[in-house]
Amino acid sequence: MIREMGQESSRRYNRTKKRFRWPSFFLYLFLGIVTVIQVYPLIWLFLFSFKDNNEIYSGNAMGIPHIWRISNYYTVMTGGNVGVYFGNSVIVTGITIAVSTILITTSAYAIVRMHWKAKNIFLNYILLGMMVPIHATLLPMFIVLRNLNLLNSYLSLILPYVVFALPMGVFIMVGFMKNIPRELEESACLDGCNIYQMFWRIALPLVRPAIATVAIFTFLSSWNELMFANTFISNDSLKTLTVGIMALSGQQGTAWGPIGAGLVIATVPTLLIYFIFSDQLQKSVIAGAIKG
């Protein structure tokens, strides 16, 4: 009897294994194809950055370089001033992330945990910023910055970037902070914590995935932004990386290899930021799915 039950269980296991083998195979095949489609442009850009115009125009734009021209990176870092542009982008983006994160977390905590009459009006006013097209603010913002003598300065980029990061960031952070159990803060209050200690020691550690998500979105929007950077900055020593790479294209001719090297330099920080915060981002997505 026991032997028959074991054989039956084995047959059921084999049927289940055969039933799910092909669907799993097609699933992994589909995911593999999607991965190749997503990763191949990065590989192509990396290979492209080591070529010169002769090799590109001769029909080897997609293949492995015949000669690996590392000099393209040296050329773009020295002659193209990409090193200066890269430093400017790091300064602007870093300050933008730091300031916007502080404003977003404190605003969301005040909206969710504090009791004041105008908090819903304040929240709706901030969220209205998600409906404003960024291009529609270019001319008014240029006039305001000119009147404040802030053109050709880091502040001319940091202020708009922070302002446009607030609506989406507050929207994400409010959703997370609403799910923090109030019992944790009540226990901390009984232990003698004030509101600032509850914010720093309880709320912030619990919303770390949301902070990582907001930081990634803010980084991408600030690091890759071109319109404001090209309009508000005319001083060559203050230009950001996107404007600097665009300036590498000359009127008489364009050296595509150094431009590819500049694009690789601009892409590497994005990949690093994602790898650093990927665990927190996945936790944020999982938490959002569970809460939904």
Dump pLDDT digits (tens) for 126-159. 888 888 888 888 999 999 999 999 999 999 999 9
What pTM value is reported for the model? 0.81
What's the pLDDT tens digit per position in 167-213? 999 998 998 888 888 888 778 888 788 888 888 888 888 888 888 88
Count CB neighbours of 255 within 10 A: 19
User: pLDDT by residue (tens digit) across 79-90?
Assistant: 778 888 999 999
What is residue 290's predicted lDDT score, i.e. its pLDDT?
46
Given a cut of 60, whether residue 241 has pLDDT beyond it is yes
List helix spans (H) across 148-255: 155-177, 182-190, 195-198, 204-206, 208-223, 227-232, 241-247
Six-digit token pair at 165?
Answer: 């990061």
Model pLDDT for residues 43-78, shown as the tens digit of each residue: 888 988 888 888 888 877 778 888 888 888 888 888
126: left (phi over 0), alpha (psi -120 to 50) or beta: alpha
Structural domain boundaries in the chain? 2-48, 80-291
CATH of region 80-291, choose from 1.10.510.10, 1.10.3720.10, 1.10.287.70, 1.10.3470.10: 1.10.3720.10
pLDDT reported for residue 287 = 55
- Is the separation of the CB atoms in 263 and 49 below 8 Å? yes
Which among 100, 164, 175, 162 is positioned nearest to 128, based on CA atoms? 164
Do 160 and 229 form a contact (C-beta atoms < 8 A)? Answer: no
- pLDDT confidence of residue 201: 84
CA separation, residue 3 to residues 8, 10, 15, 250 (Å): 9, 10, 18, 81
Q: How far is CA 229 from the centre of its chain?
A: 18
Q: What is the mean pLDDT of the chain?
A: 83
Q: Kindly provide the b/e burial profile for residues 81-99, where b requires at least 16 CB atoms within 10 angstroms of the residue's own CB.
A: bbebbbebbeebbebbbeb
* pLDDT at res. 155: 94
Q: What is the pLDDT of residue 141?
A: 92
Q: How much is the pLDDT for 272?
A: 87
What digits encode the pLDDT tens for the residues 34-47? 988 888 888 888 98
- Name the nearest CA neighbour of 49 among 59, 41, 39: 41
What's the pLDDT at 24?
79
pLDDT value for 94: 94
Is pLDDT of 161 > 50? yes
